[in-house]
C-alpha cells in the first residue's frame, strides 16, 4: 500500500497530538501513532489509554486502505530534519515494514499491526452540546492552573464541568486555591456534571488557542469527546464526587480593596523574592487607601516591603498569603483593576476582575497562611 503526504503537513499534525503520548508507559504500543488510511484520508491517533487524540489529513494519492502503527519518536525526529517536500509511504501488509521515500533518499522503519492499537471507547447513551472554541479556551485557561496533584484526592486533579440550562460553570481547586468560572452565554439543553482530567485539558487548551470554530462536546458517565476542525480528543472522566465548593466560598466579605492589577502583581513578584522559601509567605497590611506588601526570611535575614495606593473600604486588616498562589491568579486575570474581598485574617480572600462582563464571571479564592508574629 502506498500514499503520498507533505512532510510539513504531517509534522504539524503529528506535533499537535504528540503531547498525549506517554513515554514512560509499560505498554510499547503507546509509543506509536496509529495511521489509518481510508478513502484518501489519513487519520492519525495517539493515546495514553486515558486519553486519545485524533487528527486528519486529506491525501492527494492513496492506492489502498490500511491501518498501521508507526514509531512516534523516530518519525517525528526524522520529519523535523526535512524541508517541505512530498513523502511516499510504502507499507508491506504482511511484515508491516514501512519505507519512506523523499527527494533525497529512502528510510526503513518497523511498523506494527494497526489492530493492536487501543480501541476508542464507545460513547453509549451520551449527551452533547456545542460551545464556542474561545469560550472553552477561556474556561480551561482560567481554571486548569488551580487543579491539584494529590493522588489520594483524584477528583481535585481535574476541572469540574457543571452544564446547566441557564449557563455553564467550570471549577478547579487544590484545597489551597479555588477558581470558579461561569458563562451565561453558553448553555446546555440538559443539566449534568462531570470531571475532566488535567492532561487532556492542557492538550485541548494548546489546540484551541489558535482556533475559531464551534466545539462539539459529547459525554456519558465514563468518557467525554471534543470535536473541532480536524481534531478529536476522547478522554476518560475522573470518577468520584466533587467537593461542595460553594460551601467554602465566603458570602459575607465586608472589606473590599480595588487595586491596579499590574502594580499589585509586580509588587508581589518583587517582594516574594525575599520571602521564606518554604512558605512563600507575603503579608498584606491594608489601612485607609494604602496597601503595604511585605515579606521576610528570618533564616537568612532577608526582608522587603513596598507601599501601594489602593481604593479600600473596610476595617484595617493584615493577612498572609502564599505569594505563588496570588501571582498565579493575577496572571490569569486580564482586567486593568482587580478586586480583593476579605472578611478576617483567618478566612479565605476572593480575587476577581473589577470590570463587569455580563457573560463571564470569575471568582478566585485563596486560603490565607498564618502570620508569624
CA atoms within 13 A on the CB side of 186: 26
Residues 250-366: name the CATH superfamily.
DNA Polymerase III, subunit A, domain 2 (3.10.150.10)
Q: What is the pLDDT of residue 60?
A: 82
| Lookup: cell for 50 | 486515558
Q: What is the dihedral of CA 127, 129, 165, 245, to 10 degrees?
A: 80
Class of the domain covering 2-116? alpha beta
127-246 matches 2-116 in CATH topology: yes
Domain boundaries, the chain: 2-116, 127-246, 250-366
Pairing of strands 255-260, 281-287: unpaired
Q: Tell me how many degrees the CA angle 371-372-373 measures, rounded to the nearest 5.
A: 105
Is 127-246 in CATH node 3.40.50.1450? Answer: no
CB 178 within 8 A of CB 364: yes
For 4-15, the DSSP string reads: EEEHHHHHHHHH
Q: What is the dihedral of CA 104, 109, 113, 116, to 10 degrees?
A: -120
Bridge partners, 130 (sequence order) = 216
Report pTM.
0.92
Q: What is the pLDDT along the chain (373 residues), one digit of tens a residue?
A: 899 999 999 999 999 999 999 877 889 999 999 999 999 999 999 999 999 999 999 998 888 899 999 999 999 999 999 999 999 999 999 999 999 999 989 999 999 999 999 999 988 888 999 999 999 999 999 999 999 998 889 999 999 999 999 999 999 999 999 999 999 998 888 899 999 999 999 999 999 998 889 999 999 999 999 999 999 999 999 999 999 999 999 999 999 999 999 999 999 999 999 999 999 999 999 999 999 999 999 889 999 999 999 999 999 999 999 999 999 999 999 999 999 999 999 999 999 999 877 889 999 999 999 876 5
* pLDDT digit string, tens, across residues 190-209: 899 999 999 999 999 999 99
Alpha-carbon distance 361 to 357, whole Å?
7
Q: What is the pLDDT of residue 126?
A: 87
Residue with cell 503529528: 14
Among residues 193, 200, 197, 274, which one has the least CA distance to residue 238? Answer: 197
Alpha-carbon distance 117 to 139, whole Å?
32
Instruction: Work out the burial of residue 298: count CB atoms within 10 Å of its CB; fewer than 13 is exposed, 13-18 middle, 19 or more buried.
Output: exposed
| Lookup: cell for 182 | 461561569
Alpha-carbon distance 55 to 21, whole Å?
14
Q: What is the pLDDT of residue 256?
A: 97
Among residues 137, 183, 146, 171, which one has the least CA distance to residue 331? Answer: 146
Q: What is the pLDDT of residue 356?
A: 78
Amino acid at each position: 500500500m502506498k500514499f503520498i503526504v507533505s512532510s510539513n503537513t504531517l509534522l504539524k499534525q503529528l506535533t499537535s497530538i504528540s503531547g498525549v503520548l506517554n513515554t514512560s508507559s509499560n505498554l510499547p504500543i503507546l509509543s506509536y501513532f496509529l495511521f489509518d488510511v481510508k478513502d484518501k484520508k489519513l487519520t492519525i491517533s495517539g493515546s495514553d489509554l486515558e486519553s486519545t487524540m485524533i487528527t486528519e489529513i486529506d491525501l492527494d494519492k492513496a492506492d489502498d486502505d490500511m491501518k498501521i502503527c508507526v514509531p512516534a519518536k523516530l518519525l517525528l525526529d526524522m520529519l523535523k530534519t526535512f524541508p517541505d517536500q512530498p513523502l511516499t509511504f510504502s507499507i508491506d501488509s504482511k511484515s508491516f515494514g514501512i519505507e519512506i521515500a523523499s527527494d533525497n533518499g529512502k528510510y526503513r522503519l518497523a511498523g506494527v499491526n494497526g489492530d493492536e492499537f487501543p480501541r476508542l471507547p464507545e460513547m453509549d447513551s451520551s449527551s452533547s452540546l456545542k460551545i464556542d472554541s474561545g469560550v472553552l479556551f477561556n474556561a480551561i485557561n482560567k481554571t486548569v492552573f488551580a487543579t491539584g496533584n494529590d493522588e489520594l484526592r483524584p477528583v481535585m486533579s481535574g476541572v469540574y464541568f457543571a452544564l446547566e440550562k441557564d449557563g455553564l460553570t467550570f471549577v478547579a481547586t487544590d484545597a489551597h486555591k479555588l477558581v470558579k468560572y461561569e458563562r451565561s452565554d453558553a448553555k446546555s439543553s440538559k443539566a449534568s456534571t462531570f470531571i475532566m482530567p488535567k492532561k487532556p485539558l492542557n492538550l485541548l487548551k494548546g489546540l484551541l488557542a489558535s482556533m475559531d470554530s464551534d466545539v462539539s462536546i459529547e459525554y456519558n458517565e465514563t468518557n467525554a469527546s471534543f470535536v473541532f476542525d480536524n481534531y478529536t480528543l476522547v478522554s476518560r472522566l475522573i470518577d468520584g464526587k466533587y467537593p461542595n465548593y460553594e460551601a467554602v466560598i465566603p458570602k459575607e466579605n465586608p472589606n473590599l480593596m480595588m487595586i491596579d492589577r499590574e502594580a499589585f502583581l509586580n509588587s508581589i513578584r518583587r517582594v516574594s523574592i525575599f520571602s521564606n522559601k518554604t512558605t512563600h509567605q507575603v503579608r498584606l497590611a491594608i489601612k485607609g487607601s494604602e496597601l503595604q506588601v511585605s515579606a521576610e526570611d528570618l533564616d537568612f535575614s532577608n526582608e522587603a516591603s513596598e507601599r501601594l495606593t489602593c481604593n479600600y473600604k473596610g476595617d484595617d486588616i493584615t493577612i498572609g498569603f502564599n505569594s505563588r498562589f496570588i501571582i498565579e491568579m493575577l496572571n490569569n486575570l486580564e482586567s486593568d483593576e482587580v478586586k480583593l474581598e476579605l472578611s478576617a485574617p483567618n478566612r479565605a480572600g476572593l480575587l476577581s476582575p473589577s470590570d463587569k462582563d455580563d457573560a463571564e464571571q470569575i471568582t478566585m479564592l485563596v486560603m490565607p497562611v498564618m502570620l508569624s508574629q
